[in-house]
């Protein structure tokens, strides 16, 4: 900030007070002055025959400078607990008691939300969390990713992508810690995971390093040098209090860790790091019935579930590849060959 002549005349105390006030913060058409909250929408204009969409966002802009923490919900449209948690964050965070800026993307995938689809967009059939950093001239999912990358993630110092089990996934809560890329960024990502407070942290060593092919939202931040986290809390298209409150608490923990607020929950005391972990995919199309629940402990070879054909004949028995814990498992019957059935992880000694 420039020191103005009047500030010099008024003396150092006033100059310090003036420099502590932040400039307004804008994303697209939404602008928040220091110490205020602004809400609005980012347009994703029509192209290629589709109607485009809008992304509802909020900017909670603190009085004092600090980190820019981006929180995204609804990348998958039937993942409701993060969407509801962000409504609470918006209502409860006082910009006048905040250092830095919170940017909330309340529903990142509006077409999927409005059509209640799992995994894939109803418009282009793509999984939004597989097309980052997106394409300005691409399909609707690719253009949403492009807007999120350019207008939101590029402005962040830290990013947390909030998920839960999709509408068909029964899940126990956990976070993904991305270890690839710059070691300092990875270490800061680990500290975010501890501050968020989930006791199961998946050690994720398989994310791409190329910022132009980052694929995932949180990895788009990491490949641009920004610490980021993906968390999962909730599932089965439910809106249970525990899953929502866990996210709200996690955000408060991260805000305290980043010194955006003075008070907040402590980091998780006894985290369990999960490695290896494996998504088990289906070898057949048909009707799935689980034999385990999320959170169950399994041995190598434990039956996870059976797939039958449409007349009831068993066509595949799915077993755990190693001893560990069921992190998620399908809770509904529909299954196509190649789709995820369950996610198993082992606790790292």
For Zn ion, the binding residues (CB under 5 A) are 76, 79, 163
H-run or E-run covering 230: strand 228-232
CB contact at 8 A, 82 and 241: no
CB contact at 8 A, 89 and 246: no
Residue 348 half-sphere exposure, CB side, CA atoms within 13 Å?
14
Minimum distance between the CB of residue 77 and Zn ion, rounded to whole angstroms? 9
Exposure string for 104-117, b = 16+ CB within 10 A, e = fewer: bbbbbbbbbbeeeb
Minimum distance between the CB of residue 127 and Zn ion, rounded to whole angstroms? 9
Residue 15 burial class via C-beta count within 10 angstroms: exposed 0-12, middle 13-18, buried 19 and up: middle
Nearer to Zn ion (CB atom), residue 157 or residue 332: 332
Distance between CA atoms of residues 88 and 248, nearest Å = 7
Minimum distance between the CB of residue 346 and Zn ion, rounded to whole angstroms? 22
Nearer to Zn ion (CB atom), residue 76 or residue 261: 76
Minimum distance between the CB of residue 12 and Zn ion, rounded to whole angstroms? 51
Minimum distance between the CB of residue 166 and Zn ion, rounded to whole angstroms? 6
Nearer to Zn ion (CB atom), residue 76 or residue 200: 76
- CA 328, distance to chain mean position in Å, is 17
Rg of the chain (C-alpha set): 22
Nearer to Zn ion (CB atom), residue 25 or residue 216: 216
Q: How many other C-beta atoms can be found within 10 angstroms of the C-beta atom of residue 9?
A: 9
Span between the terminal Cα atoms of the chain, in Å: 50
Nearer to Zn ion (CB atom), residue 129 or residue 139: 129
Minimum distance between the CB of residue 340 and Zn ion, rounded to whole angstroms? 11
Nearer to Zn ion (CB atom), residue 25 or residue 343: 343
């Amino acid at each position: 900030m420039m020191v103005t002549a009047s500030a010099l005349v008024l003396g150092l105390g006033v100059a310090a007070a003036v420099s502590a006030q932040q400039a307004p913060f804008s994303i697209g058409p939404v602008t928040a002055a220091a110490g205020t909250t602004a809400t609005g929408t980012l347009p994703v204009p029509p192209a290629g025959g589709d109607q485009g969409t809008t992304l509802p966002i909020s900017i909670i802009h603190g009085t004092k400078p600090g980190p820019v923490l981006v929180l995204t919900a609804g990348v998958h449209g039937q993942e409701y607990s993060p969407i509801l948690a962000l409504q609470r964050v918006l209502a409860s965070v006082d910009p006048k008691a905040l250092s830095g800026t919170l940017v909330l993307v309340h529903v990142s995938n509006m077409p999927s939300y409005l059509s209640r689809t799992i995994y894939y967009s109803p418009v282009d059939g793509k999984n939004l969390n597989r097309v980052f950093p997106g394409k300005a001239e691409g399909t609707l999912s690719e253009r949403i990713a492009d807007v999120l990358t350019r207008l939101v993630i590029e402005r962040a110092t830290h990013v947390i992508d909030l998920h839960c089990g999709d509408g068909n996934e029964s899940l126990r809560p956990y976070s993904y810690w991305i270890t690839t890329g710059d070691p300092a960024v990875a270490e800061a990502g680990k500290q975010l995971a501890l501050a968020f407070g989930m006791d199961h942290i998946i050690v994720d060593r398989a994310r791409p390093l190329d910022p132009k092919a980052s694929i995932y939202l949180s990895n788009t931040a990491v490949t641009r040098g920004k610490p980021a986290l993906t968390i999962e809390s909730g599932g089965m298209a439910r809106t249970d209090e525990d899953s929502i409150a866990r996210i709200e608490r996690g955000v408060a923990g991260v805000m305290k860790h980043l010194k955006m607020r003075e008070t907040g929950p402590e980091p998780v005391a006894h985290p369990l790091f999960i490695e290896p972990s494996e998504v088990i995919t289906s070898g057949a199309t048909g009707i799935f019935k689980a034999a385990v629940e999320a959170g169950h402990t399994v041995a190598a070879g434990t039956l996870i579930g059976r797939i039958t054909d449409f007349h009831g004949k068993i066509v595949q028995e799915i077993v755990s590849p190693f001893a560990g814990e069921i992190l998620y498992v399908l809770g509904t019957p529909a299954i196509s060959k190649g789709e995820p059935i369950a996610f198993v992880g082992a606790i790292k000694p």
